[in-house]
Structure 1
């Protein structure tokens, strides 16, 4: 049997296949195909079939496919989601417009407010309904006017709206009205995509809850269509594998679940890289790592302390300008990659990105009509990418086109040589990325000097050492297949389901009644997770439950996560939740108020089905000096110090455990290229990783 991970990027779709033999020995095969932005499923299906042929695996023998997709993300970026109709409590029609009165730019008179200029739900499609639920216990103060709901549903039908949300005030306390309104809408629009806020995100805060539900309905129809279409295409091709989708929180889920709650996969395409980076670090017993995923269009960074993937604070979980209360891995993203375009702006400043040449036409050196200089063109001009070795020789690149683009657009206007301009492109890119790394590490209380920097993606290992030097990371670890690491991350990820409910409780004066309410909610949320896991055929011995209390100091605006101790919550152990919150607050902010009341706002239960991690085949042991067959050729290459050296190229597939390479050197493989500058030494270890460290002075 075999399983496949598929990660769709802006330029390439990366795939990895793990095949187990009768003796449970693992064989791993990797592959890349061009992405197909018009329909990602075309590239995915092509890649899966080609990889099966490459690995000698029959399509019918593939048992699982885990997919990281940017479909939902792209819909939000391009503002081309569904027309959404909204039912809400009378008097609260304009919450999505008002937001929290935060000005994106405090001192600008001409700023754009995205949630107003590009609303997820147009005002004419937001219809107020008579109903009212009251805090603190969810008592019904005004019954739902069912006739108004039916009238609104007929209005939506007349307007051709097939995506509807039901967002009533305080529905997290009592969702009776929301569920009834949904049933009434479906009686009029049986084929509509209908979401209740209590189903999507059953927590406090009307604006964030309404926005999250609106986003779910905005991206839902197209996302569900894509996922179901992909599943159908795979089945038609004779692939009856279980299809699983990467979620923003670093877990995987089913097509059905992700089609119902697509807000959970808005960061699907980014999360796989973080999980793959953690896996690669763990192979070298490096638990403190900073992942740097640089592809063709963007670069993503995440700090992983002590092997624990961090989840973003709810106040920061925005997609575009829209708050989305879905758990997301804490990462920074910027428009910086191999396809990032270098240009001179209107003020005469030399800039790189975020605009990208993408897959089509791509960098100038591709010869597909691109005329603007990119980062890849700069690497070619500096001799770091060999024209006859790019993607294993699968893509031919023209150095003359790269040289001409940089000369015409950068070097000549700025009065510098083409080499200086190319070095400038790389230095600007690395400067921008190092700032983003510091924002995700230093600014959040983590010292990069104790972290290993783990670069991957097609372009990551070219920049890894320069970025490690810029942020003072202790070493660089390059994974065995850098360009496919995000796809590998999909095969080392557990299945996860999360359910939440707001339970406002101040811990300093908690009563037995409060304790019973907390335990009742935890049991209910755990049961919901268990139902989902069992429906997926996960046996009880593989089920694990993580329980979290999202807490704040009484009066604070947002919460932090605090672990709940094992067993039932009691008056004896509830103080541990408070202590865990204080410790988390101190880690995040550098201080804690031990004498201030702590309040539980939301309870969260995460149901986890453990998945066996991908086993990378170990390398045979070699000598310190690489085998002569590993040396491919020597070419002139320019490094960041501006000097040009005769630089040997080594075939990574021929490097053995124990081999060391002193810079300058370049390690070439099909999916990426690793740069070892002068003054650094690269060491190959048995698990396939390459460790790069500065040589002692």
Structure 2
């Protein structure tokens, strides 16, 4: 059986092919084709198969991490979208809540108001009303009004429609009927209903999530269909699965219905790849540090489990999204980040990136602005002749020219300017990690930093040093760790229902019935995908809060029946989690169950633990030496630095820095006063030596 993982980044598309039977692993990188990423995806897969003499028809599974949905949101490139909503509630999408991104600024930009997903004249109302608390019909749906809305959208050329009614999470019948009426008169429209996308209370977030699904829906649907056709036409008969934001993969059919599930598709795969690498080193407290060409993604692994974002933290581009997502923090910092002086003369790095084209000046494609990659070349931390395994030679003169131009503006030397670029970038990334650890009461020094992505190993050690972290793990193939992460997970579907029960009067029968019904719903989806129920495991959780609080904390539940003992443990776990998250708890106070959740994971063939490596010899691994610049104390020093080829390094032998370690998909920098060791299962572990 052969599996392929494909991850599309801002600069490169990474491909990994894994043979389950022989344990052979092959990797390949091609430039990302930004206009149509499916071209680069297909090219990378076909090139890799051709290079290794593998018949494309022998590939069984292709798992893909995509940025189509994310880019559509960040670039505001979605479809012209309309909304059908309850009469009198046309402006929920505009008003939002009293919270604002910046509490005290009167000049701030509010994404859902400044760049709305749905313009006001495309938000139409119909008479209907579902009433809480049981979902009774207060006002019947005006079917003629729904049809009129559909015809109006059709005449305007609005091809994507979201249906969002009040309290539909309690009773979805009005939304489902409205969808049927719209499809009847406007069959070519892409229609999303909130009861399918996010059946939870909080109208603003539910409406926004559904509008987002409609906004990105046509683009994602067309991309998935186009990729499926390209693969089929090229002779592939493999099952295609798409990475979702919650850490699993889904079928193309599911993604075409709920494209909003892919908003963190690529970064989520990276977290899984980082967790897998950490497990190979028997580490279960990890900070994953994924740095590519345009961005850095940061997440925490605690006790071997990735953390899910809470309802108050799930957002993309400033728009609140109410769906299960891995808790990932992203900043505009990567190898292509541009160093510049802002309008006030301040020296900044990012968030704007040179991207794949023209890319950094050192790429030789016409880049004219200094980037992080150019700074690394100037300081000797990237080796021009050994970039991408020697398949792409860097232009050192071009890098020196653009950094030199910035140095003249700053009145600094070439080397000081280059080192300043890296210092600013590393400080930005360290601050991003602090926001996920220190600001939440978590000590980052208790975690190992897993550095991957094309640029993560270049910066990982210096970022760790700023945080007091004493161990950095670099996976065996750091540049394609997100593609590897795609091969470590199975099919996963999540469902959620709003419950609203208080601890002094739990209705365990109703909760049990709801959990069972949700599990049946997921099992039916897996059965439609050809996965037996025997191959599906279920995970249950509940969102809890103290009665009167505004937001919840997710608490995992065992698979055991919901008796008094399980409920008591759930409450104790909530108190402990609240204490950890906020520094206090209120034992004895009533607790409210807001939502209940069920996740189903379908077992599929995944990446296995690799065979121990034989290792090499340090002298054979040494391929060159060159001068590299590192700051020690207050002074920038030049060091005669050995350059090692990673695949020839010995196993279990500590080697002192400074050192540059090159391989096909990344370059690792080990500064002075640090040392590195290659472990038997392939990880490079870097620790302080002084």
- TM category, shorter: over 0.9
CA distance in 2 between counterparts of 1:611 and 1:660 reads 38
Counterpart mapping for 1:282-293 below 5 A: 282-293=279-290
Shift of 1:491: 0.3
Q: Paired residue for 1:356?
A: 353
3-state secondary structure, aligned to 2:297: strand
Name the residue aligned to 2:132. Answer: 135
Indicate yes or no: 2:556 matched with 1:563: yes
CA distance in 2 between partners of 1:622 and 1:672 (Å): 19
Structure 1 position 303 matched with structure 2 position 297: no
Q: 2:178 aligns with which of 181, 189, 205?
A: 181
CA distance in 2, matches of 1:574, 1:459: 46
Partners of 1:271 and 1:678 lie apart in 2 by 33
Residues of 1 paired with 2:196 and 2:571: CA distance? 29
Runs of 4+ in 1 over 4 A off after TM superposition: none
Give the match for residue 456 of structure 1.
Answer: 452
How many angstroms apart in 2 are the aligned matches of 1:101 and 1:540? 45
Give the Å deviation of 1:564: 2.1
Q: CA deviation at 1:612?
A: 4.3
What is the SS of the residue equivalent to 1:26? coil
Separation in structure 2 between the aligned mates of residue 387 and residue 645 of structure 1, nearest angstrom:
18
Question: What aligned pairs does 1:197-596 form with structure 2 within 5 A after superposition?
Answer: 197-409=194-406, 411-510=407-506, 514-596=507-589
SS state of the match for residue 67, structure 1? strand
- Provide the C-alpha distance between the structure 2 equivalents of 1:594 and 1:55, rounded to a whole number of angstroms: 62
Where 2:584 maps in the other structure, the secondary structure is coil
Structure 1 residue 654, shift from structure 2 partner? 1.2
Among residues 133, 141, 144, which one is paired with 1:144 in the alignment? 141
Partner of 2:596: 603
Could you tell me which residue of structure 2 aligns to residue 10 of structure 1?
10
- Normalised to the residue count of structure 1, the TM-score between the two structures is 0.97
The 1:661–1:571 alpha-carbon spacing in structure 2 relative to 1, beyond 3 Å, is closer
User: Offset of 1:586 from its aligned partner?
Assistant: 1.9
1:618–1:688 Cα contact (<8 Å) kept: no
Instruction: Pick from 678, 684, 691 the counterpart of residue 678 of structure 2.
Output: 684
Match of 1:632 in 2: 623
- Counterpart secondary structure, 1:492: coil
1:616 positional shift: 5.4
* 2:651 corresponds to: 657
Unaligned runs of 5+ in 2: none
Shift of 1:609: 1.4
1:190 is aligned, of 182, 187, 195, to 187
In structure 2, C-alpha distance between the alignment counterparts of 1:620 and 1:328, rounded to whole Å: 35
Task: State the Cα distance separating 1:106 from its structure 2 match.
Answer: 3.7
**Kept in 1: contact 2:69–2:216 (CA 8 A):** yes
- Which of 87, 91, 95 is 1:94 aligned to? 91
Within 1, Cα distance between the matches of 2:541 and 2:485?
24
Aligned to 1:159: 156
Deviations 1:642-681 (A, max 9, x none): 2111111111121232233211111110110111111111
Q: 1:627: how far off? A: 4.0
CA contact (8 A) 1:248 1:327 kept: yes
The answer on whether the counterparts of 2:82 and 2:153 sit within 8 Å (CA) in structure 1 is yes
The equivalent residue for 1:62 is 59
Following superposition, the deviation at residue 622 of structure 1 comes to 4.8
Which is further off, 66-75 or 112-121? 112-121
Q: CA deviation at 1:34?
A: 0.2
Quick check: 42-51 or 103-112, which moved more?
Answer: 103-112
Deviation at 1:529, TM superposition (A): 0.8
Separation in structure 2 between the aligned mates of residue 84 and residue 671 of structure 1, nearest angstrom: 40
- Superposed displacement of residue 551, structure 1: 1.1
**2 CA distance for matches of 1:489 and 1:562?**
25
Cα distance between partner residues in 2 of 1:462 and 1:264: 32
Preserved contact between residue 271 and residue 485 of structure 2 (Cα < 8 Å): yes
Residue pair 2:200, 2:498 contacting (<8 A) in 1 also: yes
Q: TM-score, normalised by structure 2?
A: 0.98
* 1:414 positional shift: 1.7
Matched residues, number? 687
Asked if the contact 2:613–2:682 (Cα under 8 Å) also holds between the matched residues in 1, the reply is no
SS at 1:185 equivalent: helix
Contact 1:65 1:241 in 2 (8 A): yes
CA shift for structure 1 position 303: 1.3
Deviations 1:545-582 (A, max 9, x none): 00111111111111111122322223443222222222
Shift of 1:114: 1.7
Distance 1:414 1:627 in 2: 41
Q: Determine the C-alpha separation between the residues in 1 that align with 2:524 and 2:84.
A: 30
Q: Take 1:464 and 1:277, find their aligned partners in 2: how far apart are those partners?
A: 13
Q: Which moved more, 1:88-97 or 1:116-125?
A: 116-125
* Structure 1 unpaired stretches of 5+: none
- The RMSD of aligned alpha carbons is 1.4
Distance 1:528 1:55 in 2: 42
Contact 2:280 2:609 in 1 (8 A): no
Cα distance in 1, alignment partners of residues 131 and 445 from structure 2: 52
Offset of residue 126 of structure 1: 1.1
